[in-house]
Amino acid sequence: MSMRTPLKEVRRLGSAKEGADHFWTQRTTGAANLVLSIFAIWLAVSLIGADHATVKATIAQPIIALPLLLFITSAAIHMRLGMQVIIEDYVHGEAAKIVLLMLNSFFAIAVAAASALSILKLSFGG
């Protein structure tokens, strides 16, 4: 005896097998953001009032630049996944949903790339 409805059989709408992956990625990046944002806040507070040369020298240290790059990556992934859920839940037109999901991905990539470029430029003395 099958538990599938005839309409489901015709449309082939079933589990996309991505719900758990999305759930765990969102939770993992959230936990990483908690730790990395504390580091970023500590760094920002410790650099209050510092001149450009001091900030540049501090960010040029690999022990500082690497966690900042990890924070940017984790935050961008978390942001994209969060907005994806909002778009999927509240946008009802299929065309608008597809366009917004693509723009969401492009925006997250652009934010991450611009932020990473800034850190790398400071880190490598550009």
Give the rounded distance of the alpha carbon of 73 from its chain centre. 6
Residues 86 and 71: their CA atoms lie apart, in Å, by 22
Which amino acid appears at position 85 of this protein?
A: V
Q: How far apart are CA 70 and CA 58, in angstroms?
A: 17
Q: Which one-letter amino acid corresponds to residue 122?
A: L
Q: What pLDDT shows up at residue 15?
A: 61
| Fold of the CATH domain 17-123 | 3 helical TM bundles of succinate and fumarate reductases (1.20.1300)
Half-sphere exposure for 6 (CA within 13 Å, toward CB):
0
The whole-number pLDDT of residue 39 equals 98
The pLDDT, as a whole number, for residue 5 is: 62
What's residue 24's pLDDT?
93
pLDDT tens, residue by residue, 70-111? 999 999 999 999 999 999 999 999 999 999 999 999 999 999
Q: What is the pLDDT of residue 27?
A: 95
Element (H, E) at 123: helix 94-123
Has residue 12 got a pLDDT over 70? no
Q: Mind listing the pLDDT tens digit for each residue in 37-65?
A: 999 999 999 999 999 999 999 999 999 99
State the Cα torsion 33-35-39-40 to the nearest 10°. 10
pLDDT-based confidence at 22, cuts 50/70/90?
Answer: confident
List the one residue out of 91, 51, 43 whose CA is nearest residue 71.
43
Q: 18 falls in which pLDDT band (50, 70, 90)?
A: low
Q: Which residue intervals of 60-93 are DSSP H helices?
A: 62-90
What integer pLDDT is reported at residue 19 of this predicted model? 72
Question: What residue segments make up the domains of the chain, in order of their start?
Answer: 17-123
The whole-model pTM stands at 0.82
